[in-house]
Amino acid sequence: MALEIKELLFFMIFIISNVNSKPVQSQLDKLALENFLQYLRIPSVQPDVNYDDCVAFLKKQAQSLDLPLKVFQPVLGKPIVVMTWQGLEPEKPSILLNSHMDVVPVYPAEWKYPPFAAHMDEEGNIYARGSQDTKSLGIQHIETIRRLKLNGIRLKRTIHISFVPDEEIGGKNGMKPFVATEDFKNLNIGFSLDEAGASPDDKFVLAYGEKTVLQLWVNCTGKPGHGSILFDNTAGEKLRNVIDRFMDFRASEKAKLKDPKVQPGEVTSVNLDMIRGGIQVNVVPNELSVAFDIRIAPDVNHTKFENMIKGWLKEAGEGVNYTIIQKDPPVKNTKLDESNIFWLAFKKACDNNGFILNPRITSGASDARYLRELGIPALGFSAINNTPLLLHENNEYLNRDIFLNGINVFMKIIPAVANA
């Protein structure tokens, strides 16, 4: 496949200006920034995402890189895009660079600028949903490979750059079914880099594990009737007992964070996210339900935890039960020791270049858990430091210089793990 004219011009500039690399660096930075802004302006927002524009954009990127691209659909309408840069030793287990195309919903009225305009202010802060989570990561992967290729670098292991759907709603129609396919097995993945969070200081967050997702509806049934009568055994009374139990537990876990040595990823989080039920203000409902988003810490026994919840519901009274929204199995953390050659290569590259790491269990879930479940080592690393953590928040932004520096960081790390 021939290089696009733009790519060919950049390559010629690189050859001509090898004594002074600033011109080509400036052009590559400009291209990276343009691609980042263009990707952010695609409103791939949950729910019911149409991924067509994302796929078309990524196909153009693959053409500019002169890389083959495949689109897999283990679930119809949920495309998984994979670009492949074949290594010098393709028989070796390959490297997967993963990010997701979808973003969470927004409250437009709460934003300084339209959340899909990718507005860059005078300080170079780019405001857009997905600027941190994780469209920046996908473009950084692309632009890193572009620069490595222009430098004439070849790597031992094959690199696959993947862009997956529906990570923000659990990956049940994205990475989860994909890892069970022959198409995924044929990629021969030996190690994966996925997302992590931003760091407010000069360190970089390194995620080697994550809490386990347990999301459920608790349904409380009771005697219905006129809203003026104090019935016994009402759904509202039971709901109150249930909420008290969950929120008391939440408070006890939150109190642990007063110890500065305890990281958020080391405690179990509980959040009440939805309540539903009732038909009219003056009618006592026959059922009320409440949804909890629970993220179980790695050292918690899942059976004992669920038995504790069942005990709370039994205390609340008859007619109280729960239904699962999402329940993931416990997954072992990726090892950060000598048994993991990819970790050793990753850490050496960071040490040699002065990248300070902050290893941790992440509070949120990522698609890396589906690879870890298969025994594939996976690290979360977004190369975003000196930036407030704004995942899923209003006015999510990423500074231009931090974004571009992240490409330089990956320029050191990706060759290291690909040559491990």
pLDDT tens for each residue of 10-50 = 555 554 445 455 677 799 999 999 999 999 999 999 999 99
Residue 387 and residue 356 share a domain: yes
Residue 353 and residue 308 share a domain: no
- CATH of residue 316's domain is 3.30.70.360
Structure tokens belonging to residue 51: 């991924």
pLDDT-derived band of residue 7, with 50, 70 and 90 as boundaries? low
Residue 149 and residue 43 share a domain: yes
CB 170 within 8 A of CB 213: yes
So which residues are the catalytic ones? 102, 167
Q: For 234-254, write each residue's pLDDT tens digit.
A: 999 999 999 999 999 999 999
Look at residue 406 and tell me whether its pLDDT is greater than 60.
Answer: yes
Residue 118 and residue 148 share a domain: yes
What is the sign, positive or negative, of the torsion defined by CA atoms of 40, 42, 46, 49? negative
pTM of the model: 0.87
Q: Enumerate residues 6+ apart whose C-beta is below 8 A from 69.
A: 58, 59, 62, 81, 82, 83, 84
Q: What strand order describes the sheet that includes 119-120?
A: 119-120, 125-127, 397-399
Write out the residue range of the structural domain in which residue 279 sits.
212-327
Q: For 126-182, write each residue's pLDDT tens digit.
A: 999 999 999 999 999 999 999 999 999 999 999 999 999 999 999 999 999 999 999
CB 175 within 8 A of CB 81: no
The CA distance from 359 to 338, in Å, is 16
**Which among 281, 309, 327 is the end of a domain?**
327
Residue 160 and residue 76 share a domain: yes
Residue 285 and residue 249 share a domain: yes
The shares of helix, strand and coil residues in the chain, as percent rounded to the nearest 5, are 35, 25, 40
- CATH of residue 55's domain is 3.40.630.10
Burial (Cβ within 10 Å: 0-12, 13-18, ≥19) of residue 258: exposed
Residue 118 and residue 64 share a domain: yes
**Would you state the pLDDT for residue 107?**
96
Q: Tell me, what DSSP letter sits at residue 331?
A: -
Residue 290 and residue 273 share a domain: yes
Residue 175 and residue 56 share a domain: yes
What domain count does the chain have?
A: 2
**Which among 311, 327, 343 is the end of a domain?**
327
Residue 63 and residue 100 share a domain: yes
Residue 186 and residue 258 share a domain: no
Residue 146 and residue 39 share a domain: yes
**Which among 327, 361, 381 is the end of a domain?**
327
